[in-house]
């Protein structure tokens, strides 16, 4: 798994889970999808379990499943559950008492607040079901074209 691809990789995993709603998938299998290590998967999606987006079970036949219907899981929730920050710039004071820095931080924090609201709103409208539908569309297209040849 590459750096900064936690959101993308997690969505990949979740679509696979949505595509196999009848059975639990193990960390091992999920890791295979994104070419990484089972422990990395467990660590990455631990937050999703706490958020109720997925459930996990141990022992024989255990593994991971979606916690609710794909159309009830938005990308905003997933991103938040991963602890990802959409806007990466820091506004930590480094020169306490400097009025210039205070002005910069104030303006930047205002912008960040507004931006995060906007992005969350947009991400809230995209659900896992949308992703799954997009995948099925692609799958059917390939199927047709290979039949045609």
Partner DNA sequence: TCGATTCGTAACTAACTAAGTTACATGAAA
Partner DNA sequence: TTTCATGTAACTTAGTTAGTTACGAATCGA
Count interface residues toward DNA (CB under 7 A): 28
CA angle in degrees (0–180, nearest 5) for 141-144-149: 125
* β 63-66/54-57 pair status: antiparallel
> Minimum distance from CB of 38 to DNA (Å)?
6
Report the nearest approach of its own copies to the CB of residue 23 (Å): 17
Of 12 and 49, CB closest to DNA: 49
* H-helix or E-strand spanning residue 55: strand 54-57
Contact partner, 70, from DNA, its own copies, none, Cβ < 5-8 Å per class = none
Using CB under 7 A as the binding rule, the residues of this chain from 41 to 100 that contact DNA are 42-44, 46, 49, 56-64
To DNA, the closest distance from the beta carbon of 32 in angstroms equals: 12
Smaller CB distance to its own copies: residue 34 or 53?
Answer: 34
Q: Among 21, 128, 115, which Cα is nearest to 81's?
A: 128
H-helix segments, the chain: 6-18, 27-33, 38-50, 75-81, 99-124, 128-148
Which is closer to its own copies, CB of 69 or CB of 142? 142
CA–CA distance, 65 with 16 (Å, rounded to integer)? 10
139 binds, among DNA, its own copies, none (CB under 5 to 8 A by kind): its own copies
């Amino acid at each position: 798994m590459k750096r900064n691809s936690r959101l993308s990789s997690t969505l990949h995993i979740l679509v696979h889970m949505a595509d196999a709603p009848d059975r639990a998938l193990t960390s091992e299998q999920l890791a295979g999808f994104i070419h990484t290590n089972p422990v990395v998967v467990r660590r990455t999606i631990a937050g999703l379990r706490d958020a109720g987006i997925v459930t996990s079970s141990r022992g024989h036949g255990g593994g991971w499943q979606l916690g609710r219907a794909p159309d009830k899981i938005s990308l905003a929730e997933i991103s938040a559950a991963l602890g990802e920050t959409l806007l990466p710039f820091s506004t930590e004071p480094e020169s306490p008492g400097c009025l210039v820095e205070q002005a910069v931080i104030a303006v930047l924090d205002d912008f960040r607040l507004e931006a995060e609201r906007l992005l969350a709103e947009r991400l809230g409208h995209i659900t896992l079901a949308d992703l799954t539908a997009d995948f099925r569309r692609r799958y059917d297209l390939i199927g047709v074209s290979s039949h045609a040849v």
